[in-house]
């Protein structure tokens, strides 16, 4: 009966054995199991779930469906930081240089944006010359030299995930916690990570809309990771409002550079109603948490790496190693700035038209949709995007606003489209006359 038994067991609420899950991952990777059978199994899992043992066995089977990177020749500790994705989430661009400046080695595969959540690869491709197609050999060599290598996904690592993810996309089975868990962790294991710090986003701009949902995903990731032999912990972070002031590819790189260049971090008072300060705070929290997990320091260590300029130097070293021209790097980054923020020939401010009050909410999902409409994101895989466009968020929840003050700026190249998007966003923020508590971006840590 072969794979039919695997489907039937899951359909009837039974368990799949380790051997069955290995056969499944192999068959997905080499295409020997037809899509209609894999689709049926995915739906059975979506409806009946996988227990922790099955989730771990599936994760390892998917990790072993291709090559595994061998990081044993690279000085450790080896860490991977992963975000489940959100609107304006550019933390990787800041957290990786901080950690590399503190002696951590990271070999990381990242994805492109799809839907409202952006992708690190798209953001980095805003930098002229930045290569996102490193081979596994190039990644290892670069990580050895500078501590960071980041590339797009290669079909050589965890190919079963590529095949299963494409099918999940078209069978309504993406939102399954065990399938998400196996998908994320199989790629980390194939990439050679020993320690994984997960940023599980929670809110309107994320996969997981509520705290109980985010907790369930974080718990599954942490428990499965441990069963697979990883050291893993998860930070659940707020995505009910956009993260930081930039949503859009080039402008997110600029914002990350602004944080990396910041020298006043020790003295600046934390202001959670200021989007840039909130983003900077989250980067330090995530990096500090990773350093704690590795026993290499804490938040103060992460802050010091920023304040001393070491994280900024590391970022420039990283960009140069991945193809950005050393001679012209400043010029290139200025170009990013010009092409990004200043492309705003058609910059349209979205004003608060009511009386003064306090920002109660900013709908992150609608801001993400606005960026897609401007051409900065995709609704289908493979679509080309415009790196220059985006939405700049001026205030965070809790900020006091007055009549006619700008709340967003829409940045684009087509005036008519910008005006349309500005009008779409007019009621994406809610103002109340009662004071509103600012929201700490760190909601919970799951070990
Ligand atoms: N990210 C992944 O890599 N896989 C999923 O299934 C969901 C998010």
The structure's pTM equals: 0.95
Please give the average per-residue pLDDT across 268-276, as a whole number: 88
Q: Does residue 321 surpass a pLDDT of 60?
A: yes
Q: Does residue 326 surpass a pLDDT of 80?
A: no
184 lines ligand 1 (CB under 6 A): yes
Q: Does residue 328 surpass a pLDDT of 70?
A: no
217 lines ligand 1 (CB under 6 A): no
Q: Does residue 16 surpass a pLDDT of 80?
A: yes
364 lines ligand 1 (CB under 6 A): no
Q: How far is the CA of 297 from the centre of ligand 1 (A)?
A: 30
Q: What is the CATH architecture assignment of 345-432?
A: Alpha-Beta Complex (3.90)
Please give the average per-residue pLDDT across 342-350, as a whole number: 72
Tell me the pLDDT tens digit for each residue of 181-199.
Answer: 999 999 999 999 999 999 9
Nearest to 277 by CA among 241, 316, 243, 239: 243
Q: How far is the CA of 216 from the centre of ligand 1 (A)?
A: 15
Q: How far is the CA of 285 from the centre of ligand 1 (A)?
A: 23
Nearest CA to ligand 1 atom 7: 180
Strand spans (E) along 20-65: none
32 is catalytic: no
- What pLDDT does 264 receive? 60
Higher-confidence residue of 347 and 48: namely 48
Compute the distance between CA of residue 4 and CA of residue 421 in angstroms, rounded to an integer: 49
Per-residue pLDDT band at 297 (split at 50, 70, 90): very high
Pocket test for ligand 1, best of 174, 185, 381 (most atoms within 8 A of CB): 174
Q: Does residue 53 surpass a pLDDT of 70?
A: yes
Q: Does residue 334 surpass a pLDDT of 60?
A: no
110 lines ligand 1 (CB under 6 A): no
Phi and psi of 398, rounded to 5°? Answer: 100, -15
Per-residue pLDDT band at 47 (split at 50, 70, 90): very high
Query: Within the chain, how many helices (H) and strands (E) appear?
Result: 17, 13
Candidates 1.20.970.10, 1.20.1250.20, 3.90.850.10, 3.40.50.12780; correct CATH number of 3-49? 1.20.970.10
Dihedral angle sign, alpha carbons of residues 316, 187, 280, 241: positive
- What pLDDT does 381 receive? 79
- What pLDDT does 402 receive? 97
387 is catalytic: no
State the average pLDDT for the chain: 93
- What pLDDT does 425 receive? 97
Compute the distance between CA of residue 318 and CA of residue 195 in angstroms, rounded to an integer: 21
Please give the average per-residue pLDDT across 82-93, as a whole number: 96
Whether the Cβ atoms of residue 83 and residue 236 lie closer than 8 Å to each other: no
Q: Does residue 247 surpass a pLDDT of 70?
A: yes
Structure tokens at 439: 């929201």
Nearest CA to ligand 1 atom 5: 180
Nearest CA to ligand 1 atom 2: 184
Per-residue pLDDT band at 318 (split at 50, 70, 90): very high
Per-residue pLDDT band at 208 (split at 50, 70, 90): very high
Please give the average per-residue pLDDT across 321-340, as a whole number: 68
Per-residue pLDDT band at 330 (split at 50, 70, 90): low
DSSP conformation class of 84: -
Tell me the pLDDT tens digit for each residue of 93-140.
Answer: 999 999 999 999 999 999 888 788 889 999 999 888 899 999 999 999
145 is catalytic: no
- What pLDDT does 315 receive? 95
Q: Residue 362 is inside which H or E element, if any?
A: strand 357-362
- What pLDDT does 346 receive? 67
Percentage of the chain exceeding pLDDT 90: 83
168 is catalytic: yes
- What pLDDT does 329 receive? 64
The single residue of 183, 204, 262, 277 carrying the catalytic annotation is: 183
Domain ranges, ordered by start, for the chain: 3-49, 79-332, 345-432
183 is catalytic: yes
Q: Does residue 261 surpass a pLDDT of 90?
A: no
Q: What is the CATH architecture assignment of 79-332?
A: 3-Layer(aba) Sandwich (3.40)
Please give the average per-residue pLDDT across 133-148, as a whole number: 95
- What pLDDT does 388 receive? 87
């Amino acid at each position: 009966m072969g794979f039919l038994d695997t489907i039937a067991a899951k359909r009837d609420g039974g368990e799949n054995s380790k051997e069955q899950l290995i056969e499944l991952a192999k068959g997905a990777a080499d295409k020997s199991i037809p899509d209609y059978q894999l689709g049926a199994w995915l739906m059975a899992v979506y409806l009946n779930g996988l227990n922790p043992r099955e989730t771990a066995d599936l994760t390892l089977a998917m990790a072993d469906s291709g090559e595994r990177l061998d990081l044993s020749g690279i000085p450790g500790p080896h860490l991977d930081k992963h975000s489940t994705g959100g609107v304006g989430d550019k933390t990787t661009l800041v957290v990786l240089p901080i950690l590399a400046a503190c002696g951590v080695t990271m070999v990381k595969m990242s994805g492109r944006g799809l839907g409202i959540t952006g992708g690190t690869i798209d953001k980095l491709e805003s930098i002229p010359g930045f290569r996102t197609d490193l081979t596994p050999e190039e990644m290892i060599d670069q990580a050895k030299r500078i501590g960071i290598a980041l590339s797009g996904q290669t079909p050589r690592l965890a190919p079963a995930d590529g095949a299963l993810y494409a099918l999940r996309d078209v069978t309504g089975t993406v939102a399954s916690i065990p399938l998400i868990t196996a998908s994320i962790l199989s790629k980390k294991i194939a990439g050679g990570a020993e320690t994984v710090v997960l940023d599980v986003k929670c809110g309107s701009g994320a996969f997981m809309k509520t705290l109980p949902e985010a907790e369930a995903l974080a718990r599954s990731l942490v428990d499965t990771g441990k069963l697979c032999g990883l050291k893993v912990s998860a930070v659940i972070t707020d995505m009910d409002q956009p993260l930081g002031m930039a949503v859009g590819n080039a402008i997110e790189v600029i914002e990350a550079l602004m944080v990396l260049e910041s020298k006043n971090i020790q003295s600046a008072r934390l202001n959670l109603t200021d989007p840039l300060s909130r983003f900077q705070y989250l980067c330090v929290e995530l990096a500090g948490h990773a350093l704690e997990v590795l026993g290499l320091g804490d938040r103060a260590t992460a802050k010091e790496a920023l304040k001393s300029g070491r994280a900024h130097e590391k970022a420039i070293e990283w960009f140069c190693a991945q193809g950005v021209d050393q001679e012209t790097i400043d010029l290139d980054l200025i170009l990013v700035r010009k092409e990004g923020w200043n492309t705003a020939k058609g910059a349209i401010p979205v004003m608060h038209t009511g009386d003064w009050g306090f920002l109660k909410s900013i709908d992150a999902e609608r801001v993400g949709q606005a960026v897609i409409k401007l051409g900065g994101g995709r609704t289908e895989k493979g679509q080309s995007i415009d790196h220059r466009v985006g939405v700049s968020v001026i205030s965070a929840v809790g900020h006091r606003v007055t009549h006619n003050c700008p709340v967003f700026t829409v940045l684009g190249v087509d005036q008519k489209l910008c005006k349309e998007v500005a009008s779409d966003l007019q009621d994406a923020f809610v103002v109340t006359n009662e004071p509103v508590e600012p929201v700490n971006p760190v909601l919970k840590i799951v070990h």
